[in-house]
Structure 1
Amino acid sequence: MSRPKLSDRASRHDAAYLRAKKENYAARAIYKLEEIDQRFHLLRPGVRVLDLGCWPGSWMQYAAKKVGDDGLVVGIDLRPVTVALPPQVQHFVADVWTWSPALLGADVRFDLVVSDMAPHTSGDKHTDQYKSEALAERALEIARQALRPGGHLVAKVFQGGQFPELIKQWRAAFQETKPYHAKNTRTTSSEQYLVGRGLRAAAQLPAAPATAT
């Protein structure tokens, strides 16, 4: 993998990055989840949260504070999370393409699934958007297996040619669907968050068995 250009690296050290460092969060992405939560009121004490693509851990840090000791936060990522987290947080190294919520137990259901997953960028805009939309579709599939009826899903996507189809799938699964552009997103980015609220009971899927890697 090639190293980022110095200009790209420097551009990431913006006000949100510096604030995250000061407040001991693992990444500036914390403020995107905070903004989405304040807008849509997704997190509260006692909630169970599944975080897909949880590395480096800032979304789990935020969610843990909001759900408190009686809540649960489970994170999944290809890379291990090393940031210190409270006891109500669990995280596992796994590939979302082969991982299944069934591994957590047949009776485990979540109130909220969040996904900040992004593909390894290739530099080709259309390829990256295609891969991002595929990850968002996978997040929806997992959410339909993992959520309780009435649960919610937030998933990042780089908007491309399949975006209208994703909106259609979200609307079929949830009572309310909103695309949301976070303020902390760079103005040149096609990044959106799809927010689905109120999973329809008919949209639930049985948790599929995990696939061997």
Structure 2
Amino acid sequence: MKRTKTSKSWMMEHINDPFVQRAKSEGFRARAAYKLTEIDDKDKLIRPGMVVVDLGAAPGSWSQVAAARVGEKGKVFALDLLPMEPIRGVEFMQGDFHDEAFVEHFEVLLGDREVDLVMSDIAPNISGVPTSDQARSIHLAELALDFAQAHLSQGGRFLVKVFQGQGFEAFRKQMEAAFKSVVVRKPQASRGRSSEVYLLGVGKRA
């Protein structure tokens, strides 16, 4: 298939993106690593010894950051429908995180550990129909929130990517009901023209 002018333009922008170049030089699997790094530097989400769950983890750049920051005494569980190459210190599970049987398997691996942080950088496959894409984005965020509410320890934190648009404010209110505080973050590595932001819920309510 012949590339369109738009796809060629995107590819050139991607190749010249300083975060893409930096990720390659520093061994990260995707530029998204710097989104999590900036948020964590600001909000101190990840600490040594924590248990972290990375939803929609592939190709694994957020898990790379988390594994380095929780250290050997911590644990990172990475979940995704897609396969992911192994990362030291990361327990990867391939499957659907809102499938009951898959969740039961995860809980067996979790054992008696308490989850301190659930994070999700999931985005839907883009169809090109804005209203449909936005609805699917919000749905994925809601599924991630359901997972976080079920598995986070009291006082735990939840970081999720959401696209601003229809349903955003309603979802934010759902998070405000589940956490003591909710803040919006837009890291520098998030492209300026993108409507994506990250919502951080702090202090899971009992």
TM-score normalised by the chain length of structure 2: 0.91
Structure 1 stretches of 4+ with a deviation exceeding 3 A read: 1-4, 99-102
5+ residue gaps, structure 1 = 202-213
Q: Specify which of 148, 151, 158 is matched with residue 163 of structure 2.
A: 158
Residue in 2 that maps onto 1:92: 93
Partner of 1:208: none
* Amino acid of the structure 2 residue aligned with 1:69: E
Render the CA deviation track for 1:132-175: whole Å, top value 9, x for unaligned: 11111111000001100000000001112111111111111001
What's the counterpart of residue 25 of structure 1? Answer: 28
Which of 199, 203, 206 aligns to 1:194? It is 199
1:11 aligned partner, one-letter code? E
1:187 deviates by: 1.3
> 1:59-93 deviations in whole A, cap 9, x for unaligned?
010000000000000001111111x411x210111
Deviation at 1:45, TM superposition (A): 0.4
Q: Which residue identity is paired with 1:66?
A: R
Task: Report the Cα distance in structure 1 between the residues aligned to 2:156 and 2:173, rounded to whole angstroms.
Answer: 18
Asked if the contact 2:54–2:79 (Cα under 8 Å) also holds between the matched residues in 1, the reply is yes
Say which of 11, 15, 19 aligns to 1:16: 19
CA RMSD of aligned residues (A): 1.8
- Return the match for 2:81 from 78, 82, 102: 78
Q: Which residue of 1 aligns with 2:120?
A: 115
Q: C-alpha offsets along residues 97-128 of structure 1, whole Å, 9 cap, x if unaligned? A: 32554322363431000000000001122211
**Quick one: which amino acid aligns to residue 91 of structure 1?**
F
Find out whether 1:142 has 2:143 as its counterpart. Answer: no
Aligned twin of 1:206: none
Matches of 1:116 and 1:2, distance apart in 2: 31
Tell me the CA shift for residue 96 of structure 1: 2.6
Contact 2:51 2:113 in 1 (8 A): no
* Shift of residue 2, structure 1, vs aligned partner: 9.9
Q: Could you state the TM-score of these two structures normalised by the residue count of structure 1?
A: 0.88
Higher helix fraction (1 or 2)? 2
Q: State the match for 1:63 in structure 2.
A: 66
Question: C-alpha displacement at 1:184, in angstroms?
Answer: 1.2
Query: What's the CA shift string for 1:15-38, capped at 9, x where partnerless?
Result: 000000000100000000001101
C-alpha distance in 1 between matches for 2:13 and 2:96: 30
Contact kept, 8 Å, 2:98 with 2:147, in 1: the verdict is no
Partner Cα separation in structure 2 for residue 160 and residue 107 of structure 1: 39
2:130 matched residue in structure 1: 125
Taking the aligned partners of 1:113 and 1:198, their CA distance within structure 2 comes to 12
Q: How does 1:170-209 map to 2 (within 5 A)?
A: 170-201=175-206
Structure 2 unaligned residues grouped into runs of 5+: none
Look up the SS of the partner of 1:169 in the other structure.
helix
What CA distance in whole angstroms lies between the structure 2 residues aligned with 1:47 and 1:63?
9
Alpha-carbon distance in 2 for matches of 1:159, 1:166: 10
Q: Give me the identity figure in percent.
A: 42
Aligned residues: 199
